[in-house]
Structure 1
Amino acid sequence: MKNSKLLSCYLAFLFGILPLNAMATLTVASPFSNNAVLQRHMPVPVWGTADAGTKITVTISSDSSQDSQTKSTITNSHGEWKIELDAMPATFTPQVLKISGNESEFTYSNILVGEVWVCAGQSNMVMEANRVPEVKALIPKSKYIRSLEVPRTVALTPQNHLTSEWQVATPSSAVALAFAYHLQVSENVPVGIILSAWGSSSIEAWMPREMTSKVPHFKTMMQEFDADTQTQERIKAILEGPKPWSRKDDIFLRRQSNILFNAMINPLIPYAARGLVWYQGERNTMSIHGMPEEPWFARNSGMLKYGDTLKAWMQNYREAWNQDTFHFIAVMLPGFHKQKEGVPLGGPEDPNTHSWAWMRESQMRSLDLPNTSLVNTIDLGDVNDIHPKDKLPVGKRAALMALRDTLEHNIQAQGPTLSEVKRFGNQIIIDFEHAEGLKTIDEQPPKAFWLSDDSGKWVKAEATIKGQSVILHSPSLTQPRYVRYAFAGKPNVNLVNSANLPAYPFRTDTFEP
């Protein structure tokens, strides 16, 4: 029926019998396929296109249950339709999703209902589970985890279609798998992961064009991009050319602005999900202040503007999904040190050294927004490797955040955070929150604390734990005023709470980099 209607409409159009819009057959948004996982406990949008004025009916049901839903709507004048299914409880019982209209019908089987999360970012989100033995070992235990992996590609304009489908398989990403596994074990519901990530990509690559009205440096970047016809033509040539792409072309595409969003995020909106795990930031650490910066692929927010950019990006995604509670779990950049020419030398533990500490501080600003979490990884990483393999604790800590902040589990999900600073003579006392059972992981005095007076010269502090506080002093400072904790590229840290979760980096000074 479907093919015969297509042929008759095509012939009629050729001979001028029907207007063009009469050829519009029923389509369903591409995130829907066999084996999909739908988000529990919230309305589930289902959408697509058809002829204007067509009645569309959506039904979800199972053979073993009396519970079912049937909803209908009429496509608008642009041929667009959207139906919201009522919130559903989680179920391991396979459901069938049927969409009909315009004498066509789509039937998707083996649908489950549970927790759905998008996992996005750059290469540390991409890193495969097969490269991390501890995470790879979770695959045989992950029966009810499914994945939709978005193909890595770009588009000059926002797209509405994906070429991938849901798989009864764990995500390839080590962080995404570790996250999904610990979430699934704790909640005992199906977990669906939508993986949309690409190495070397800046946050600007994942930003829609309309954010130019809110982010000044992104406006400049897009103006430059629009004026650069040579780059646009090269992008078109790569997309139209043979595959697989050369490494040079692949890197050229993923380091552009906006065009990853167009191809890899826009087709997902507004698929119902609890939130998004965001492991990105390395590309934006190439400078402190950001634009103007050379080479071209370093032209982005830089570390200091990243925090405000990240918040604007989160708010934009929430508006796009029309979901104020869409939760973001950002992953703080872990320990790493690469000396940059022309900046102070001091080593990976020195707070004076140019380092990722400024990016981590920017990432902390995302917590200004409601419904956000930040995974602390200051105790992880590799001083010489930007792609560390300790991904299991990253995913586990992200799952703890999801359980506490979105599913109301009464658990300790984060390490100690700065609460208050008190000064008494030559001592400074730091009070912490989330500090029950404050201790050091190695039973040694707390490390990575530095003190300064008004001179801005930093010296190592001697530290002692007392209850949920740390007392600091230095024989070389008679009037210490400022503290930096773990504010370095790869600090040696040991301060944790009773859950063995590390204390968050912080600084109390206002010195500029």
Structure 2
Amino acid sequence: MSKARYIVILLILLFPGLLSAQIRANVVDTASALIVADPLQSNMVIQQNKPFKVWGHAPAGKIVTVKASWLTVPVSVQADRANKFMAIINVPAIQKGNYTKHSIGVTYDSKNVILDNLLIGDVWFCSGQSNMQFAVREIADPQKHIDSAVHPNIRLLNVRFTWKIKPTDTIPGKWLECSPQNVRDFSAVGYYFAREIQRKLDIPIGVIYSGIGGSVTQAYLAQDVMAADPLLKAKYLDPFYQTDAYKKSDLEKFTFGTTSYPYLIYNGMIYPFFNLSVKGILWYQGESNREQRDEYVKLNQTMIESWRKGFGQGSLPFYYVQVAPHAYGKMDTTLNDYAFFREQQERIATLNNTAMVTTMDVGDKDDIHPKNKKPIGLRLAYTALNQTYAQLDIAYRGPQYSHAVYGKQKATVYFEPGTTDKGLATTDNKSPRHFYLAGEDQVFHRADARIDGNTIVLDCKEVKKPVAVRYAFTNFPTTNLQNGAGIPAVPFRTDNWAEPVQKGTTSK
């Protein structure tokens, strides 16, 4: 986490007035009050074509009635002994162009809560660390993007950072219409995603961001889930149990370590949403776990499966972002530890209904937070439109390596069918960059590359008998190879040679 982000979080914690009114509302006596769960608010989008849960607190034994403007018959339930209630109402599928405003009333006796200015559409849940948190106001030349962000049929929920020792059902955040004022501090990736989906589908879109900069994946996993897995328990939980903060039960105090502890962010920022119906999940994280390899794949796939189980809506789409090229202050163009991490990150997509979007053309060797977030949001949208919404004419994959044919001092690279739609091209009309060839000596040399139809032909005089190809397999290459749809090629290596031990890195 950067010092600036740490200061922002610290200010929020030191000055309670900066927190939403919802945090202060949590002190209300649930034994007598009627409280609707924090994620359910006026201005929200309600997920279409799925059951919608209305939950909260009411005195034990009281009959709570829920009436939605689109239903002819209200639903009534009884609050349980723990002063909790949950009603489930049906939500219809909507037609293109339907922006009808709705309301929900929740009552018992003379108590009532009204949620209004509601839309029925699709809701996407975004999470991850600082590159997903990266706000519209932080992008290059932000004002023109902010001024044009008048989209009342897109609704935003920006969840402020919170962490809990135990799972909670409260969150600090407020649903808002997308406007220049409200979009400023919202996730740029989430905003561009929502704008493109809304434009293509012509339906209301709700987008939630619930995460924090500097956070690690293990912070987003439940304690019991990690405890049940020997690898994750040994790697993450057991060391955590040995920290002074855990031993002294001092976890409620914010420190630089808070975003690196297991399960605390999960308890405060993920668990509270599990009763909410959503369309899918977007994830952008990895920088804080970059020195891990196999653990990261296991960790993320376990997280995905546990979130899907928590939401209880089947195998929800899960689309995630590849970490962008960055030098981490080491300007050696031959280093490739980050490339090996990206390779492992790609393996997460072996899990069903997941996909990774590529960032190799929009990284910044000097800035871990590259400012060009629009292509990332759009690529996530293209992935969702193709994979979730079955708009198969929308390309979402970049050229993906299939196989190579070797000759004397040369090689020809072939790509998977369907990933070179509209052919191959480069962003600058120059030769493709960052291709390397190696012989049996395992020493890679830069190769000249040219496009030949849907293949790349490589030449390298230094390698008489090439046996391996690598593409963009270094820490901070800025690539120019893409398909005709403008989606960048995915980095790859054809060899299985061991990762070299590089100065300043830890063992993998």
TM normalised by structure 1 equals: 0.82
2:132 to 117, 125, 131: 125
Q: SS of the counterpart of 1:456?
A: coil
Q: Which amino acid is 1:254 matched to?
A: T
What's the offset of the Cα at 1:369? 1.5
Q: Deviations over 1:19-75 (max 9, x none)?
A: xx9x4654432100111111123222222344555544322116xxxx656334445
Q: Which residue of 2 aligns with 1:40?
A: 48
The alpha carbon displacement at 1:237 in A equals 5.9
* Mapped pair 1:61 → 2:48: no
Kept after mapping to 1: 8 A contact 2:61/2:78: yes
TM-superposed CA distance for 1:412, in Å, is 1.1
Alignment map for 1:167-316 (pairs within 5 Å): 167-169=176-178, 170-171=182-183, 172-212=186-226, 213-214=228-229, 216-231=231-246, 233=248, 235-236=250-251, 238=253, 249=254, 251-285=256-290, 287=291, 302-316=292-306
Instruction: Find 1:428's aligned residue among 411, 416, 424.
Output: 411
Q: Letter of the aligned partner of 2:394 in structure 1? A: I
Alpha-carbon distance in 2 for matches of 1:251, 1:29: 30
* Equivalent residue letter for 1:416: P
1:158 pairs, out of 167, 170, 173, with 167
Distance 2:239 2:86 in 1: 36
Residue 138 of structure 1 aligns to a residue whose secondary structure is helix
Secondary structure at the aligned position of 1:168 is classed as: strand
* One-letter amino acid of the structure 1 residue matched with residue 460 of structure 2: S
- CA RMSD between the two structures: 2.5
Q: Is the radius of gyration larger for structure 1 or structure 2? A: 1
Q: Who is 2:397 aligned against? A: 414
Q: Is the CA contact (8 Å cut-off) linking 1:473 and 1:480 kept in structure 2?
A: no
- Closer, same or farther: CA 135–406 of 1 in aligned 2, 3 Å: farther
Uncovered stretches (5+) of structure 1, i.e. residues with no partner: 1-9, 11-20, 239-248, 288-301, 341-345
Q: Which residue of 2 aligns with 1:243?
A: none
User: Take 2:230 and 2:360, find their aligned partners in 1: how far apart are those partners?
Assistant: 29
What aligned pairs does 1:48-87 form with structure 2 within 5 A after superposition?
48-51=56-59, 54-61=62-69, 68=72, 70-75=74-79, 80-87=84-91
SS at 2:199 equivalent: helix
The alpha-carbon deviation at position 473 of structure 1 amounts to 3.5
Deviation, structure 1 residue 326? 1.3
1:458, distance to aligned residue in structure 2 (A): 0.9
Counterpart for residue 320 of structure 1: 310
CA distance in 2, matches of 1:310, 1:47: 29
Q: Which residue of 2 aligns with 1:293?
A: none
1:487 matched to which residue of 2? 473
Percent of aligned positions that are identical? 29
Count of aligned pairs between the two proteins: 456
Q: Determine the C-alpha separation between the residues in 1 that align with 2:157 and 2:309.
A: 23
1:448 offset after TM fit, Å? 1.0
Larger mean CA deviation between 404-413 and 421-430 belongs to: 421-430
Find the counterpart in structure 1 of residue 505 from structure 2. none
In 2, distance between residues paired with 1:237 and 1:78?
Answer: 25
User: Aligned partner of 1:318: which letter?
Assistant: R
SS at match of 1:361: helix
* CA shift for structure 1 position 424: 4.5
Q: Secondary structure at the match of 1:113?
A: strand
- How much has 1:364 moved relative to structure 2? 0.8
Alignment partner of 1:378 out of 345, 360, 363: 360
Aligned match of 2:447: 461
Contact 2:127 2:209 survives alignment (8 Å): yes
The superposition leaves residues 111-161 of structure 1 with CA deviations (integer Å, 9 ceiling, x where unpaired) of: 111121112111111222112245543343432222112121211111111
| One-letter amino acid of the counterpart of residue 214, structure 1 | D
Amino acid of the structure 1 residue aligned with 2:267? N
Report if aligned partners of 1:381, 1:388 keep a CA contact under 8 Å in 2.
yes
Structure 1 residue 511: deviation in Å?
1.4
Q: Which residue of 1 aligns with 2:436?
A: 450
SS at match of 2:337: coil
Deviation at 1:233?
4.3
Instruction: Summarize the Cα distance change of 1:151–1:251 in structure 2 as closer, same or farther, 3 Å threshold.
Output: same
2:325 counterpart residue number: 335
Q: TM-score under structure 2 normalisation?
A: 0.83
CA spacing shift, 1:510–1:178, aligned 2, 3 Å? same
1:138 aligns with 2:120: no
